[in-house]
Every structure is written in structure tokens, then in C-alpha cells.
Amino acid sequence: MSAPLRLGTRRSTLAMAQSQMVADAVAAASGRAVELVPIVSEGDVNRASLSQLGGRGVFANGLREALAADRCDFLVHSLKDLPTVQPEGLVIAATPPREDARDVVVTRDGTPLGSLAPGSRVGTGSPRRIAQALRHNPRLDIHDIRGNVDSRLARVRDGELDAVILAAAGISRLGGDLGGLQAEALGLAEWPTAPGQGSLAIETRSDIDPEVHAALAELDDEDTRVAITAERVVLNALDAGCSAPVGTHASLAGGDLRLRAVVYALDGSQRIGIDRTVRLAPGYGGETGSGNGADAADDGGPIARAARAGREAARRLLERGAADLVPRESTT
């Protein structure tokens, strides 16, 4: 009997829950048992603000070190926490089908974010969410918080905060129980989220047993990979960290990739946005919408076209002054 495959994961309740979902799917695909290997990341022990931690992969580095040292066979990451530069010797073997990419505002009584009273205390540790919240309602009192989903919800339930902003996918993966609190889903057109939000990444070593790699690859969803490629290329081309005030969302419809990217000032006072629509379906060339036709002859396939769309979106954002708004990171 083959030895169990070892899945490296952060120790948080959410990480363990989503890793168990992947473990069950990999076990079915490979015919081998999969055991979870909890690993402590820097982000789990360093309680500094996310804006101070920046884009240094604090939720990924410890896991990747364990993978490279053969203490596990593959990892499961929340893709939004993963730096855009792929380390040598490691590969993303699969991106399973994406869940809800939206953010939600959780309150005690369901008051929408834009209608919260002046001075309402809203908790989030994300510079992007802070900027977006202040743009929607400049009267808010933003509290920079860390902690797991349950602890954040408890701070609303106990009255310490009036609202928190969370990822819809995280709540869903934990069962969706808000314990009597109310959630307002924020539309992606006006509130684009972190590149890759709602997606998971299954990462392994490039020299892993081909049969293991093939089993992991069975979980890959091409539409998800195309969309997150465009989003993450925007972030990479802007030279911005994972926690920068950048919101992106890409979706596929009718053979088209529709990409929205917005860069915010940290205080929400300014934003620069762009929309692009790129034709992906085989047999079609060129672009529609805001494109200029530069990719019309591109035949590199959907992933290559998505990457080009992301680079072009970033270029146009920079031309419009995005560099003045985005904190730069050399280790994205």
C-alpha cells in the first residue's frame, strides 16, 4: 500500500477546513490517503498590521520551506495570500473551481456599509478594504484588526465593532453560520477584491512523482486559472505587494475575458480604474471594449491572452498615475 500523501496547511480553522476539502478530492483522484500536516507561518505568529507586513508572503513562506524540505508533498494556499512570483522548484499544480470572490460587510442589524452612522467602528486589516470602505463612507472609524473569522465576528456580536469586512468564500467554507449577524454582499463592479480572492492554489515541487502531479492536476479548473492569471499579472506588473490597495476581478462569459482593475489611495480619496474585454474563444482574434487591437494576432491560448490583458491593464493604470497611489514591493 502506498504511503499517505502529506498536505501542508496553515493551522487556522479556515485553512484546515479548505485543506480537508482538497485532501478529500486528492484522495479520490489518486486512490491514496491524504493526511494534513499543520505548519505555522510567519503571518500566524507575527501580529503586526497587514499593511506593515506587506507583500512578503508571510502566509506562504513557512509552508513553502516545509515543502522544499520534503516535510510535505503539496500545499493548499488561499491564492489571494500568495506572492505573484513563483519560487524556483515549486509549481502551482491546480487551481480548483473558484468560489464567491466578493467581500461581505457583517453587522448586527444588516445596515449597509454606505448607511452606517458617522463614527461607526469597522474592522479590517486589509489596506484595500480600508480604502474602499472610506471611499464608500468617509465617516467610518476604521479599526486595523487581525484574527480568524470567528474572532472577528465575535467582536461585532459583542459590540466592540459595528461591522467587519470579510471574504465571502471564507465564510462559506466554514459553513456560512454568522451566529445571528447579517451580511451585505458587495458587488464586484464597484468593489473589486484581491487578485485571486475566492480561489485556492495547490502547490507542489516540480520534481514530485508524476503520478502525484497528475492527481493534483485533476483538480484544476481552466476558467479559474485564466481569470486569476489576469488578476495576478496586474498586481505583478504594478510591482505591488499582496496587501496593496489594488482590487481586480476577471470573469469569463461567451468566450470573452472581462477584467476590471482599480488602484486606490490608502485613504480612499482617489482611485484609478480600467476595464478590458479580451476574446479568448478559439478561432477568434482581437479584442473588444477598451482594447486597442494590439493582441489581435495573439494565438498563445487563453492563459497567454489573460496574461497579456493583465499586463496591458497595469500599463494603462500606470500611465494614469497609479504609481503615485500604490506602495511598491520588490518581493511580491
Residue reference for cell 461591522: 163
The pLDDT score that the predictor gives to residue 241 is 66
CATH number of 5-96+199-220: 3.40.190.10
Same fold flag, 5-96+199-220 and 103-185: yes
The pLDDT score that the predictor gives to residue 242 is 65
pTM of the complete model: 0.87
The pLDDT score that the predictor gives to residue 49 is 53
Q: Is 144 a catalytic residue?
A: no
Domain ranges of the chain: 5-96+199-220, 103-185, 226-324
CA distance 302 to 282: 9
Query: Using an 8 Å Cβ cutoff, are 252 and 228 in contact?
Result: no
CA distance 303 to 213: 20
Residue reference for cell 500599463: 315
The pLDDT score that the predictor gives to residue 282 is 56
CA distance 302 to 157: 45
Task: Give the 3-state secondary structure of residue 258.
Answer: strand
Query: Using an 8 Å Cβ cutoff, are 131 and 268 in contact?
Result: yes
Domain 103-185, classified CATH 3.40.50.10800, yes or no: no
Catalytic residue among 24, 73, 81, 141: 81
- pLDDT-flagged residues of the chain (< 70): 1, 41-58, 241-243, 281-299, 327-332
Q: pLDDT digits over 57-109, tens only?
A: 667 889 999 999 999 999 999 999 898 889 999 999 999 999 999 999 999 99
The pLDDT score that the predictor gives to residue 146 is 82
Q: What is the fold of 226-324?
A: Double Stranded RNA Binding Domain (3.30.160)
Query: Using an 8 Å Cβ cutoff, are 43 and 59 in contact?
Result: yes
